[in-house]
Each structure stands twice: as structure tokens, then as C-alpha cells.
Amino acid sequence: MRTFAEFRARTEPTPAVPHHTEAPPKGVVYVVDDDFFARTAVRTILADSDWRVEDFSTCEDFLATYQPDEDACLVVDVHLPGMGGLQLVQRLQGQSPHIPVVVISGSSGISEAVQSMRSGACDFLEKPVSPGRLLASIAEAFRLARAARAVMMMHRAALDHIAGLTPRQREVMRLVLAGQPSKNIAADLGISQRTVENHRASIMHKTGARSLPALAKLALASVWRPDEQLAG
């Protein structure tokens, strides 16, 4: 049976140890491993690259400290006393925003790696952990998590803008984004063209959009659908 290391070696190049030309992000890396020597080795690798690190021997100890809104990354072993590493990953997936996770293990089976990724981990690393791959994996985990948070913030802001519209304004917005001219919208809704223009002006003002393409982009960012019913 092929090991995970053999599988990965054939599909991915081994990254070089990153050369830090600037200070790393001000996030914290949590390391959870009941093996003192392995935990210390990971902590040393990260600390030597100027990452802030906190380490724990159990998932329960980690959960007693972790704050969901922190800018952080978790490095956790699969096999732990009490709550296992994959159980922790699955539990954290229920939080929003959830912490990115890098799973490590002394095992080398492909099935364990696949299970880790399906549980929501960003990466799976074998022990002993390669310094270069660990640092690259941590950096990528932070990048993905921050990108996801940025999209979520944009989504929430867009929803707030659209939720501020009246039902009639959302109806006009639906038709405007469908490419209908004001004259046709007025006929469809049984209102005057001037009223349609007033609604369009109010829509642009309330959403902060300066053009129709900007309004369309806002609607897409909110994952808003023309037939969606919003409160208000």
C-alpha cells in the first residue's frame, strides 16, 4: 500500500523554506499535540520564523483558551487522548468564522489524509514535520482564512445595503438589473416613469452604488437573487 508521503511526493513539489522579507502576520498559531517532543519541535520551527505560538497537550485545553474571532491557525495531531484531532476540526467547522487547521500525524495512510481534508482541514502533514512544508502550509492557511473573511465581510455589507431598500425599491431594482428601461418598468408596475426614476435614485443612494455595474456587483456580492424575498 502506498503511503501518503509517496502519494504526495508524486503530486506536489517540496517547497523551499520561505525567506521572510517582512514580519509575518500578527496571528497566533495554536499547536495541539500530546507528544511533548513533537509539540516542542513544531513550536521551535514556528517561533524561529517569528510566529506567535501557543501549545497544548489536549483539545480540551485548547478549547478552554480559543476565541473564535481571533486571527489564528491550528496545528493539531490526529491521535490525541480524549477528543481526537479530527473531532476538533469538525467541531470548529461549526463556528463562523472558523479557524484554519493543519492536521499532522505519525501515520502515513492516504485514507487518514483524505479524512482530514474532508473534515475541513487545510492540509495534512506527516511527522516528522518538514520545516519548509510546515511554514508554507501555515502561511497558506492564514491567506485562505483572511480571504474568506474578506468575502464574508463584503457579503454582509452588501446584504445590509440591500436590506435597507423598501419592497417596491427591491422590485424596481430587480427590473433594472434585468435590463428593463424605466418606461417599461413603469408600465409593468403600474406607476409613473417619474416614480420609477425616483426609486432608482433612492436605490443608488441607499446602496452607495454610483453606477448600474456597481449596483450589479453589490447584488452579486450579497448573493442576492432577483426573486429573493428580504425583510423590510
Mean pLDDT of the chain: 80
Candidates 32, 28, 80; CA nearest to 55 is 32
The SS3 of residue 104 is strand
Instruction: Quickly state the pLDDT bin for 232 (edges 50, 70, 90).
Output: very low
Angstrom distance (rounded) from CA 101 to CA 141: 7
Q: What is the mean pLDDT of residues 81-95?
A: 87
Q: Quick check: 187 pLDDT over 60?
A: yes
Residue-level pLDDT at 96: 56
Would you identify the CATH topology of the domain 164-221?
Arc Repressor Mutant, subunit A (1.10.10)
Candidates 160, 157, 158, 187; CA nearest to 172 is 187
Instruction: Quickly state the pLDDT bin for 101 (edges 50, 70, 90).
Output: very high
Query: How do the residues of the chain divide into helix, strand and coil, expressed in percent and rounded to 5?
Result: 50, 10, 35
**What secondary structure, in 3-state letters, does 115-129 show?**
HHHHCCCCEEEECCC
Domains in the chain: boundaries: 4-13+22-150, 164-221
For residue 102, the tally of other CB atoms under 10 A from its CB is 25
Least-confidence region, from 64-68, 143-147, 154-158, 175-179: 154-158
Q: Quick check: 123 pLDDT over 50?
A: yes
Residue-level pLDDT at 109: 66
Assign domain 4-13+22-150 to a CATH class: alpha beta
